[in-house]
Structure 1
Amino acid sequence: MLRETTPRPPGPRDRRRRRLVRRWLSAGLSAGAAGVAVWALSPPAPQTRAVLVATRDLPAGAALAEADVHRVQRPVATVPDGALDPASAAGAVLAGAVRRGEVLTDTRTTGAGLLAGQPPGTLATTVAVDDPAVLDGLRPGARVDVLARTDDPVTGLATGAERVAADVVVLAVPATTASGGLLGPAPAGATGSVLVAVDAPTAADLAAAAGRTVLALRAP
């Protein structure tokens, strides 16, 4: 027959072991609760965005090359307005000097080059326009003819006009205030300069005709 054994009452060593176990469990629970509280109160990681930063001091007029910039991640809240998109900044020309470590923005560049896609040797040349209505109707990419008024060398009276440039593309148009703005309506006779893409001989002809040019917009 099996004899029943009476449980031995816990001794001092058993009581010490139980107290240690309870302390360990309490410490573990406290640490776990503290970790959960810290995790709950910690702010989420900030959202970042890729920007281009100059790797060295760069002068105005420099065309950006791969070695001139590197791509870094910055918190969105710290990224300046107009920061260049790394995917479309190749070949952009600097409009002003840039310091090493500076984030590149649209105000520091002229974009991917006003003459991007134009034939080799093409020049960007200004043509004065003294008619605000013509300026209002122009947009980059429009095709225009440039006429030059001819004058009688003796009397100075206008005798006609000759075509100086034909079917040239407009690269840039100045902002006008004809519709009203901070400065009010544009004054009568206000002059603006339109940037057009021409070859070198035509650029020379336009320079010689400065002050006598008229812009004629071509139909699409």
Structure 2
Amino acid sequence: MRSGRLWFARHRRPILVMLMLLAVWFTVRAAGPASPTMVRVMVASQDLSAGRRLSSGDLEVASWPAGLAPSGRLSADPAGQVLAAPVREGEALTDARLLGPGLLRGLPAGTVAVPVRLTDPGSAALVRAGDHVDVIAGTASTWSADEAGGSSRSSPATIERPARNALVLAVSGHTRAVGGETGGGVGLGAVGGGVTTGDDDALAGLLVLAVQAGEADRLAGAVTGASVSVVVLP
């Protein structure tokens, strides 16, 4: 008993110091930030090009802190939808990256997205998402004969700008591969100067423009049957 008291007296100071350190450690631990809430986020499993039609293999599910997860993140598999802009490996995919209503987020009320196909699909490679363009619609002069009386009439060539200062939301397209062949080869980029594999001919030369609803009908009518090009504004 006496030896125990002597041992405690001899080691009392280090024991008290150790107990104080433990008390400080528990206090700091209790006051520290709690573990963040994690959420599931769909991210690109590889670099993806603009105009790519997504497949399930293009994406994977990652766990992100809720405070870092972007708004508009996808909750369902977007397989079959088309990318409006390039996406880097590991980047979270949101609705604003897809052709669809998300492209109009943050734009003025009354803005609609209108697809316009350029007559020369290759010129789409010179346009980037975020550019402002004027749409040029041209028709050639025509001549027709009156079947009944032999008279004829001609229609003059026309050039008009059915949309001015339109914001380019997305550029998709089938590009020409290195070596001159079209198909799966890598060519000039569509959106943002990235690369695209041109995986869908239906998207060749297609721009998606943001215009006011009142301008959309005029634009659609003007480009029907016309030669369509754009002027990129400074």
Taking structure 2 as the reference length, the TM-score comes to 0.46
Pick 1 or 2: higher relative contact order, CA cutoff 8 A, min separation 6.
Answer: 2
- Considering only CA atoms, is the larger Rg found in Structure 1 or Structure 2? 1
Taking structure 1 as the reference length, the TM-score comes to 0.48
